[in-house]
Amino acid sequence: MSALRAEEETETEETEDLESFRRRARAFITANLAPKTIDEMRQDYSVGDEEAELAEIAHERDLQRMIFDAGLAGICFPRAYGGQGLTPAHQMVLNEEIVGRDFPWRIQVPTFVPCAAIILEFGTEEQKQRYLPPILRGEELWMQFLSEPSGGSDVAAALTTAVRDGDQWVLNGSKIWTTGAWWSDWGLCLARTNWDVPKHRGLTVFMLPIHQPNVEVHRIEMLNGSREFCQEFLTDVVVPDSDRIGEVDDGWTVGTRWMFHERMLFNSPYASHPVGVTHGSMDATSVFKVAREAGLLDDTATQEMVGEARMLELISDAVGKRINESISAGKLSDQAAAIVRLFKGSSQERIRTLGFEVAGSAGAAWSGEGPTTRAAINYLIRQGGSIGGGTLEMARNVVAERVLGMPRERRLDKDVPFRDVPRSRSGSG
């Protein structure tokens, strides 16, 4: 595990003990990071207000620089690249200490995880020296150029193509679902370099600057009004071979770890995340507030819906803990994480439906901002959480095939050149 690698490299030096690290972190945080509530943290700038969002990003870059100068950036990154060379336990201490404080959380994912983690794991010495320190200083923000319009779950079926031209590569294609690409600096890009081998064996990973004439960034408006996601069009983008990461045609080795880091998200030792904070889901308290606003707390049918929302929330927590413990105890394979994905995704769908249902006709049209507004918008984008980060259908396949051991679906893209694999008729979908 690369998380351990950071520890090994610092063995020769004295590692700061956890308590003095905590004191140091707390002193910095108390003096420099303002108190901030969870609701303020959840404030969504991606709905409409561009200037506010850019100001927030600039603020986060500044915060990250302060954290870097204080010797608290990149806890598990080696010192040689601007990190602290400390352990996941130190990162956990930091996660505890930043609770209730202003913090650059937008930078954590995907810049630190998975992008910086992948550079650390697969980058050459020169690449790590070049790219990791600016990331840790908050100067360069990264995005994942991974998904494509031609296919979401089937990531390895990338159509974006890189063709070699001497000591450089020329990239053409389109990437999608990048969060905030319009204010980011670099993209980690999975591209096809060989069409004459099966799909997993013809991929390569590149690093490229987003702000250049040959990359067009288009912002996508989502059903809840958010414009955080982007699509990029790459037209003859030139990338020097020195910005290739990993071996040519061996991009799936990188891709596998890439998706592992992506799944880890805030559980990764390479990102900071205040303990106990979740971002932006519809919860049972919201459903209760909708019921209160509707004056329906004494209505038994409404009570049952509020109770159901809370029930699903409690059980989502419990099932997450249980599956983790079962995996640790060796009672279930690590593929069982898909059970948690499936249960939480389905529950979140149901909770959003309940919130909207409780709102009654007020959910159809309203005035002013309130719990009901949120309930209606959340219902509209209900399926978003069951699609992003892997669809529930993929999770169901994993549970049936990898956990219960049922026969795998027949695959038509195995052992044939990718060129001959049937594809969608159009490039979208």
Partner 1 sequence: MLINPTEEQEFFRATTERFLVEHAPPDALRRLRDDADGFDRDYWRRGAELGWTSLLVDEAHGGGSISGAGLVDLSLVAYEFGHHAAPGPLTATNVVASALSDGGSDGEQAEVLAGLLSGEAIATWCAPELGARPDTWRTAVEIERAGDALVLRGTVRPVEHAGQAEHFLVTAREGAGLTQVLVPAGASGITVEALETVDLTRRFGAVTFDGVRVGADAVVGAPGEASSDVGRQLRRAVTMLNAEAVGAMQAAFDMTVEWSFDRYSFGRPLASYQALKHRFADMMSWLQAGHAISDSACAAAQDDEPNADELGSAAKAFIGRYGGELIQDCVQLHGGIGVTFDHDLHLYLRRLTVNRSVAGTPREHLRRIAGIVEAREGEAA
Point out which residues bind partner 1 (CB under 8 A). 284-285, 288-289, 292, 297, 300, 302-308, 310-312, 314-315, 318-319, 321-323, 325-326, 329, 331, 336, 338-339, 342-343, 346, 393, 395-401, 403-404, 406-407, 409
Which of 246, 256, 144 has the alpha carbon at shortest distance from 193?
246
C-alpha dist (Å) from residue 137 to 5, 67, 274: 21, 8, 20
Cα separation of 230 and 210, whole Å? 12
Q: How far is the CB of 423 from partner 1 (least distance, A)?
A: 21
- Contact assessment for residue 218 and residue 233, using Cβ atoms and an 8 Å cutoff: yes
Got the DSSP string for 212-276? STTEEEEEPPPTTS---EEEEEEEEEEEEGGGEES-TTBHHHHHHHHHHHHHHGGGSTTS---TT
Phi, psi of 148 (to 5 degrees): -130, 160
Q: Which is nearer to partner 1, 70 or 311 (CB)?
A: 311
Q: How far is the CB of 67 from partner 1 (least distance, A)?
A: 32
Q: Which is nearer to partner 1, 79 or 350 (CB)?
A: 350
- Contact assessment for residue 207 and residue 188, using Cβ atoms and an 8 Å cutoff: yes
Q: How far is the CB of 321 from partner 1 (least distance, A)?
A: 7
Q: Which is nearer to partner 1, 165 or 325 (CB)?
A: 325
Q: Which is nearer to partner 1, 241 or 325 (CB)?
A: 325
Q: How far is the CB of 323 from partner 1 (least distance, A)?
A: 6
Q: Which is nearer to partner 1, 249 or 299 (CB)?
A: 299
**Which tokens in the block code for residue 232?**
């990029």
Q: How far is the CB of 345 from partner 1 (least distance, A)?
A: 10
Q: Which is nearer to partner 1, 267 or 285 (CB)?
A: 285
DSSP secondary structure code for residue 142 in this structure = E
Q: How far is the CB of 187 from partner 1 (least distance, A)?
A: 34
- Contact assessment for residue 144 and residue 231, using Cβ atoms and an 8 Å cutoff: no
Cα separation of 98 and 30, whole Å? 9
Alpha helices in 33-83 (DSSP H): 38-42, 50-69
Cα separation of 228 and 178, whole Å? 8
Q: How far is the CB of 320 from partner 1 (least distance, A)?
A: 8
Cα separation of 253 and 116, whole Å? 16
Q: Which is nearer to partner 1, 33 or 294 (CB)?
A: 294
* Those residues with Cβ within 8 angstroms of residue 71's Cβ, 6 or more apart along the chain or in another chain: 24, 84
DSSP secondary structure code for residue 334 in this structure = G
Q: How far is the CB of 341 from partner 1 (least distance, A)?
A: 9
Q: Which is nearer to partner 1, 2 or 326 (CB)?
A: 326
Q: Which is nearer to partner 1, 107 or 291 (CB)?
A: 291
Please report the sign of the dihedral spanned by the C-alpha atoms of residue 341, residue 5, residue 108, residue 267: positive
Q: How far is the CB of 68 from partner 1 (least distance, A)?
A: 38
